[in-house]
Structure 1
Amino acid sequence: MIQFLEQTAGTGNILLTMVLPMVLVIGFMYLIIYVPQKRQDKKDAAMRNSIEIGDEVTTIGGVVGRVAAIKDDTFVLETTSDRVKIRFRRSAISSVEKLDMGNGKDDAKKDAKKDAPVKK
């Protein structure tokens, strides 16, 4: 009976030494590959959902232009000064440059300086 218990305890140690490294490798791969990819996917989805009319967009195919119209899952891109319009899916967006409308606070300060009386 004692020999049987010693044999099963030895088998448990061998099993532990075989399974533990595999579990650690799988956990390491999860942390190194899966978690950062999910974080990047969330950033990309937020970028694609934040496009507005007038933003400059680059597609995954390299087409650069301004957003002319937006529908549910597609957008229309104006590519040249000839106003060539092409419809793309939102998933085709590689990068977005927001339309710079100016900062309201800076404009208000400039207007206040213009309207202020000049001291002589």
Structure 2
Amino acid sequence: MFAIWLQSASGGLGSLGGLALPVLFFIVLYVLMILPNQRKQKKWQEMLGQIKSGDRVTTNGGIRGTVLTVKDDSVILRVQPDGVKLEFVKSAIAAVTTEDQAPA
């Protein structure tokens, strides 16, 4: 009788152990992938919010230029060598290089 009770108790514990592995996997996934991505996204949003006229920026397409005008959701860049003005949405800006920091 004791052996039957022991088998049923270990069977219940086994199902709890089977649940622990997916929970542990999700926690590791969150810490290694989701959390750093959220931090990077927040930092990028702050960078976009601080763009001002005169900043040098690089777009996702690799175009480098100087910000002339900042609107709600777009910026106008002056691109060298001919001084062509181009309008981009803010989300197309990959990096901002101000005068006090070197390009990355």
Report the TM-score range of the alignment, normalised by the length of the smaller protein. 0.7 to 0.9
- Per the alignment, residue 22 of structure 2 pairs with 22
Identity %: 36
What TM-score comes out, normalization by structure 2 length? 0.85
- Per the alignment, residue 85 of structure 2 pairs with 85
Residues paired across the two proteins, number: 100
- Per the alignment, residue 76 of structure 2 pairs with 76
RMSD: 1.9
What TM-score comes out, normalization by structure 1 length? 0.74
Where do 4+ consecutive residues of structure 1 move more than 3 Å? 1-8
One-letter amino acid of the counterpart of residue 65, structure 2? G
- Larger strand proportion, structure 1 or 2? 2
- Per the alignment, residue 56 of structure 2 pairs with 56
Report deviation, 1:83.
2.0
Q: Does the CA-based 8 Å contact 1:54-1:99 persist in structure 2? A: no
Write out per-residue CA displacement over residues 17-66 of structure 1, whole angstroms, 9 at most, x where no aligned residue: 21111111111111111111000000101111111001001000000010
One-letter amino acid of the counterpart of residue 86, structure 1? L
Where structure 1 has 5 or more consecutive residues not aligned to the other structure, the ranges are: 101-120
Larger radius of gyration between Structure 1 and Structure 2: 1
